[in-house]
Structure 1
Amino acid sequence: MSLQRGTSPSTGCCWAEVERLRQALAAADAVVVGAGAGLSTSAGLTYTGERFEKNFADFKARYGIGDMYSGGFYPYGSLEEYWAWWSRHILLNRYDQPPGGPYLDLLRLLAGRDYFVLTTNVDHQFQLAGFDKRRLFYTQGDYGLWQCSRPCHDRTYDNEEVVRQMVRRQKDQRVPGELVPRCPVCGAPMAMNLRCDGRFVEDEGWHEAALRYRAFLEGHRGRRLLFLALGVGGNTPVIIKYPFWQMSAENPRATYCCINLGEASAPRELAGRAICIDADIGQALAALD
């Protein structure tokens, strides 16, 4: 079955839709959560504005970088500059950021329920909030992992210790040369384990999580499922949005719910089984708690 990608308009945020979601959650045999960037934005992990200015004013002044996202793609002149940026970015968004309220609220809502989480977020917020890591599939990588930039092998490496050294010792937007990470196998520079091109490493843990996710879906085929899309926009729709639409359409017992401020919609084929809440995710989840 191929869904039309024309969508019905958002129903807007109203108590009736929140109540529909409450009822769907109570009736579901299991919940499949799809989490995008909007969930972390609602949790306070914003990449622009005051948070960016507070932590990267020197990079803005020197390089003209205007937000954290574009800073990751800036053509720095040296690896020392590149890792000065990335170490600060990683520390801020992965290691020194406590779990956000929406993640904690979601965990409480899922307590005692059968669930699995598919996410494109790379900030580790689910683990920090206390979600069972065996019920998580991080498809796009993790700020806390490095890989060979070539890559010459399919392994990733934890980076917290070196990242903290980089932040502590950097000066003038540069880290000491001896801290620049190199692949222990081929000697090439290390890179972030983030899916931004064809060199992304899918390590053993990635493949194990993918298998668990597929097994969860297969084990719940035809049952009353709630596909809950949180903050999923249009950047990578083939990972969460379109598959959730397709699986919801193929299972007449399934309900699809999208909570996304300014971008809540569903295909016309899901009319009657779709709940679209155009609201801040944190506020919507708190209303359910």
Structure 2
Amino acid sequence: MKQDKEKDYSERVQRAAQLLAEADGILITAGAGMGVDSGLPDYRNKEGFWRAYPAIQKMNLAFEEVADPKWFKQHPRLAWGFYGHRLNLVRRTTPHAGFVRLLAMSQRPKRGVFVLTSNLDGQFQTAGFDPQRIEECHGSLHFLQCTRPCSEQVWCADEIHMAISSETLQAIGPLPICPRCGALARPNILLFNDKSWVDERSKQQGECLWQWLEEMMLDKARLAIIEIGAGTALPVIRRRSEFYAKVHHANMIRINPHDHHVRKARHVSLPLTGMTALEAIWQAWYKLTQTV
């Protein structure tokens, strides 16, 4: 039985490597699980979330409650304490080795790659992926917007350096403001119950992805989709992966230690973490491409 499972696993990895090696273009779709191997907290898990933010545990607040735009109005120092801490965290986090392997495999397709991610951390850009080939469908912590908002303007957060109280998670010192109207600024990310998110940047990224996919389809280029760490709690990435696979008749590789099941036999399911799966696929891919 164990040998059968190992053989099945090996065949799946080999199939995934072959799909990536033969593709004319690769669409990488990534959810929260992609960042966990880099050491970023699992915000969907209450225990993991509270372990990372004991001050929020004392208030008995779940992630969904904290990630609400109302906090920027009702308690701006707590809101910026939480998001300022997240921004500081992602800035000092190094993308895990799976990003390196994925970037290496992305150099082969003649149509290149495009990344679709719901993650806010900017790890794909940090790892070396082309920023012009990334759609961040929920925005990015590395950009700011007005809380009102007074315009569609967003701006880079590079100049923002937040000091945070370790006991209360309160932001210390001046809070970021909108350069246009002087109102409080906030991260340019989609929050829960959010009617104020400025989505212009994300829309422009999405248009670039649509154009890339359209050109692939018109030229009958072979598309491979590799989905990493996209769960079912908020299945935005999973649904888009499945939609593109259907419309473009593409094969999909789904990597997830828990929610790894696929609906079509032609797709590949790998019940592994992103870093583990990408290392195994790269090893098979490297051997395969060296003989071609």
TM range (shorter): 0.7 to 0.9
**Unpaired runs of 5+ in structure 1?**
1-11
| Residue 270 of structure 2 corresponds to residue 281 of structure 1 | no
User: Comparing both chains, which one has the higher relative contact order based on Cα–Cα distances under 8 Å and sequence gaps of 6 or more?
Assistant: 1
Q: Contact (CA 8 Å) 1:29, 1:225: kept in 2 or not?
A: yes
Q: How does 1:84-99 map to 2 (within 5 A)?
A: 84-92=81-89, 94-99=90-95
Aligned-partner residue type, residue 265 of structure 1: H
TM-score by length of 2: 0.80
Q: Distance in 2 between matches of 1:143 and 1:85?
A: 12
Aligned-partner residue type, residue 227 of structure 2: A
1:168-200 Cα distance to aligned partner (Å, 9 max, x none): 6888543345x1222233333222211122321
Q: How does 1:78-157 map to 2 (within 5 A)?
A: 78-92=75-89, 94-113=90-109, 114-157=112-155
Q: Distance in 2 between matches of 1:240 and 1:60?
A: 28
CA deviation after TM superposition for structure 1 residue 230, in Å: 1.0
Aligned-partner residue type, residue 199 of structure 1: S
Comparing 187-196 with 211-220, which one deviates more in the overlay? 187-196
Q: Distance in 2 between matches of 1:61 and 1:212?
A: 40
TM-score by length of 1: 0.80
Aligned-partner residue type, residue 82 of structure 1: A
Q: SS of the counterpart of 1:257?
A: strand
Q: SS of the counterpart of 1:245?
A: helix
| Residue 184 of structure 2 corresponds to residue 189 of structure 1 | yes
Q: Contact (CA 8 Å) 1:100, 1:125: kept in 2 or not?
A: no
CA deviation after TM superposition for structure 1 residue 51, in Å: 8.8
| Residue 229 of structure 2 corresponds to residue 231 of structure 1 | yes
**Unpaired runs of 5+ in structure 2?**
1-6, 283-292
CA deviation after TM superposition for structure 1 residue 249, in Å: 2.6
Q: Distance in 2 between matches of 1:109 and 1:115?
A: 10
Q: Distance in 2 between matches of 1:180 and 1:36?
A: 30
Q: Distance in 2 between matches of 1:111 and 1:75?
A: 43
Q: Distance in 2 between matches of 1:116 and 1:130?
A: 13
| Residue 37 of structure 2 corresponds to residue 39 of structure 1 | no
Rate the CA distance shift 1:240–1:82 in 2: closer, same or farther, 3 A.
Answer: closer
Comparing 240-249 with 100-109, which one deviates more in the overlay? 240-249
CA deviation after TM superposition for structure 1 residue 216, in Å: 0.7
Q: How much is the aligned-residue C-alpha RMSD, in angstroms?
A: 2.9
Q: Contact (CA 8 Å) 1:259, 1:276: kept in 2 or not?
A: yes
**Matching residue within 215, 237, 242 for 2:239:** 242
Q: Contact (CA 8 Å) 2:84, 2:164: kept in 1 or not?
A: no
CA deviation after TM superposition for structure 1 residue 140, in Å: 0.8
Q: SS of the counterpart of 1:286?
A: helix
Number of equivalenced pairs:
266
- Identity across the alignment (%): 25
